[in-house]
Amino acid sequence: MSQAPNPAQQAPVSLAELQLQFALDQLNTAYAAALDDKRFDDWPDFFLEQAHYKVQARENFDRGLPLALIALESRGMMKDRVYGVTQTIYHGPYYTRHVISPSRLMGQAGGRIQAQTSYAVFRCRPAGVSEVYSVGRYIDEIVQTPAGLKFASRLCVYDSEMILNSLIYPI
Amino acid sequence: MSQAPNPAQQAPVSLAELQLQFALDQLNTAYAAALDDKRFDDWPDFFLEQAHYKVQARENFDRGLPLALIALESRGMMKDRVYGVTQTIYHGPYYTRHVISPSRLMGQAGGRIQAQTSYAVFRCRPAGVSEVYSVGRYIDEIVQTPAGLKFASRLCVYDSEMILNSLIYPI
Amino acid sequence: MSQAPNPAQQAPVSLAELQLQFALDQLNTAYAAALDDKRFDDWPDFFLEQAHYKVQARENFDRGLPLALIALESRGMMKDRVYGVTQTIYHGPYYTRHVISPSRLMGQAGGRIQAQTSYAVFRCRPAGVSEVYSVGRYIDEIVQTPAGLKFASRLCVYDSEMILNSLIYPI
């Protein structure tokens, strides 16, 4: 359970922090758009070459247990996952739609930006209505690179124990 | 399917871009509040006199097909729609609630600002619970006018083929 | 029903207003995170000592009727509520997840900042899927203190007449 400093107690932010907040929100909305547009090949490019991507139930995260639904440790594993999702896994098609809160800037240390962002992902199946698919939060470590902000680690902690059918596409 | 430049690769933004991002988010939240508050007479004022407003299924949008649920081509047609919605259409009453992501600034060219924003619209009927009504994204062209930002074009691409009952109020 | 000035008609904002918008969004996301993380003891600290917190149905709010689901008038009453929620009320456990729009800055007068923010709260019960729990808007009066922004008043106006089971945790 995160015990972050209360941002309400921060002094007025600098222009640099406003720019960072802008970049974080644009990173998050671009990431969501890539997935929602099914541009899955773009997805690994949001990460560093050696980056972690994990999707874990809140129950396990809160207890410090290691079990996760997805745990990838490099861009190569992400590309492999994309290949699996788009070429080999047989599944009913669906669209996703991410709606996210403004990003929460938690701190910066050692060249790493810590941020957390709440998300809701909706699912739409052919001829169906929109359903709540997964809600939770991103817990991110982000670094500035010559090519812009990249995820060193994106941990998706989902609140519900039950996932509708199965999780095919990244969150 | 949009092939936008990856915003993670942008240089630190200028103060002017931060101001634009602020204005976009305020435009979107004010637009949503007008609809959710049922101040429908305010709705056409968010557009230019000669503006397009379209609500289209993602299936048709992705295939470049023209069929749309609503397609209006001027502020006058919007006022007519408002008259229809508030004075003549017989329908079960409901409230809407828009929850939107931060706006995604896609570019500027020829005096037009391109932006996209993901939305979820919830519906509440009398004595009922809140339901997911429509999710999708706004694809906008926006211009700066003496009276502030106005939509030259707002295209609402909704993900689900199925709409609960029918769409009465604008999205 | 609020008749706020149309933000699209504002001039380009100052750096001070951008800083305020940043602080409002960070206040809202920190508030939501405290509740979603079940750090309920942190909740009263988002308010002034003499502050109002009210959860009211839109039907009553729109008609100016006083009845509210929760109406607290000081930080002391909030602490009492937290004690009740965590120590004495017998209820089925659930998680919440707030997803909120960017905050809508409505004005400043007499040292008070007026803002409104749309929210969706999702609920996850053990072994269950995520459900839409409550949608609505925050109507806030906020003051700058040496310890940062604090709520002088937070009014949660929820759209649906029907609440799933009962409302235990604050919104």
User: pLDDT by residue (tens digit) across C146-165?
Assistant: 999 999 999 999 998 777 66
Would you state the structure tokens that stand for residue A100, as one six-digit string?
Answer: 């996210």
**Which string of b and e fits C47-60 if b means at least 16 CB within 10 Å?**
bbeebbbbbbbbbe
pLDDT at site C161: 77
pLDDT band at C4 (very low <50, low <70, confident <90, very high): very low
Tell whether pTM > 0.90: yes
Say if residue C12's pLDDT is above 50.
yes
Min distance A164 CA to chain C CA atoms (Å): 7
Name chain B contacts of C18, Cβ cutoff 8 Å.
18-19, 22
Contact of C139 with C151, CB cutoff 8 Å = no
Min distance B64 CA to chain C CA atoms (Å): 30
Q: Which residue type occupies A36? A: D
Separation CA B168–CA B153 (nearest Å): 20
For residues B84-97, average pLDDT: 88
pLDDT tens-digit map of B1-22: 344 444 444 468 899 999 999 9
Would you state the structure tokens that stand for residue C9, as one six-digit string?
Answer: 């008609």
Would you state the structure tokens that stand for residue A91, as one six-digit string?
Answer: 């599944």
Q: Does B134 touch chain C (CB under 8 A)?
A: no
CATH number for the domain whose boundaries are A15-86+93-158: 3.10.450.50
**Which string of b and e fits A86-115 if b means at least 16 CB within 10 Å?**
eeeeeeeebbbbbbbbbbbbbeeeeeebbb
What kind of fold does domain C15-158 have according to CATH? Nuclear Transport Factor 2; Chain: A, (3.10.450)
Architecture of domain B14-158: Roll (3.10)
Separation CA B101–CA A112 (nearest Å): 24
pLDDT band at C88 (very low <50, low <70, confident <90, very high): confident
For chain A, residues with pLDDT lower than 50 are: 1-10
Separation CA B29–CA C126 (nearest Å): 34
Between strands C104-109 and C130-145, the pairing is unpaired
Report angle CA C60, C134, A63 to the nearest 5 degrees. 145
Would you state the structure tokens that stand for residue C154, as one six-digit string?
Answer: 């937070």
Give the one of B9, B21, B136 whose C-beta lies nearest to A148's C-beta.
B9
A12·C19 Cβ contact <8 A:
yes
Would you state the structure tokens that stand for residue C93, as one six-digit string?
Answer: 């456990």
Say if residue B65's pLDDT is above 90.
yes
Interfacial B residues in 81-110 facing C (CB < 8 Å): 95, 97-100, 102
Name chain C contacts of B45, Cβ cutoff 8 Å.
6
For residues B90-102, average pLDDT: 92
Q: Which residue type occupies C112? A: R
Separation CA A19–CA B111 (nearest Å): 23
Contact of B113 with B141, CB cutoff 8 Å = yes
Contact of B153 with B141, CB cutoff 8 Å = yes
Between strands A148-158 and A47-57, the pairing is parallel
C84 CB-near residues (< 8 Å, 6+ apart): none
Between strands B47-57 and B70-72, the pairing is antiparallel
Between strands C47-57 and C148-158, the pairing is parallel
Min distance B66 CA to chain A CA atoms (Å): 19
Min distance C146 CA to chain A CA atoms (Å): 8
Min distance A2 CA to chain B CA atoms (Å): 23
pLDDT at site A165: 67
For residues B114-133, average pLDDT: 93
Separation CA A11–CA A8 (nearest Å): 8
Q: Does A144 touch chain C (CB under 8 A)?
A: no
Element (H, E) at C31: helix C15-36
Q: Residue B52, Cβ neighbours under 10 Å: how many?
A: 17
C102, closest residue in chain A (CA to CA) = A102
What are the start-end ranges of the H helices in chain B?
A: 15-36, 58-63, 75-83
DSSP class per residue in C126-141: TT--EEEEEEEEEEEE
Tell me what the pLDDT averaged over chain B comes to. Answer: 91
For residues B90-104, average pLDDT: 93
Contact of C106 with C4, CB cutoff 8 Å = yes
Q: Does A70 touch chain B (CB under 8 A)?
A: no
Name chain C contacts of B126, Cβ cutoff 8 Å.
161
C145, closest residue in chain A (CA to CA) = A9
Separation CA C44–CA C74 (nearest Å): 9
Separation CA A89–CA A76 (nearest Å): 18
Phi, psi of C122 (to 5 degrees): -105, 150
Tell me what the pLDDT averaged over chain C comes to. Answer: 91
pLDDT tens-digit map of B128-143: 889 999 999 999 999 9
Separation CA B170–CA B165 (nearest Å): 14
Say if residue C1's pLDDT is above 70.
no
Would you state the structure tokens that stand for residue B158, as one six-digit string?
Answer: 């909704």
pLDDT at site B127: 82
Separation CA A99–CA C120 (nearest Å): 10
DSSP class per residue in chain A: ------GGGSPPPPHHHHHHHHHHHHHHHHHHHHHHTT-GGGGGGGEEEEEEEEEEEHHHHHHT----SEEE-SHHHHHHHHHIIIII------EEEEEEPPPEEEEEETTEEEEEEEEEEEEE-TT--EEEEEEEEEEEEEEEETTEEEEEEEEEEES-S--SS---S--
- ipTM score of complex: 0.91
CA contacts within 13 A on the Cβ side of B36:
29
Say which range, B89-93, C45-49, C115-119, has the weakest mean pLDDT.
Answer: B89-93
Interfacial A residues in 14-43 facing C (CB < 8 Å): 15, 17-18, 21
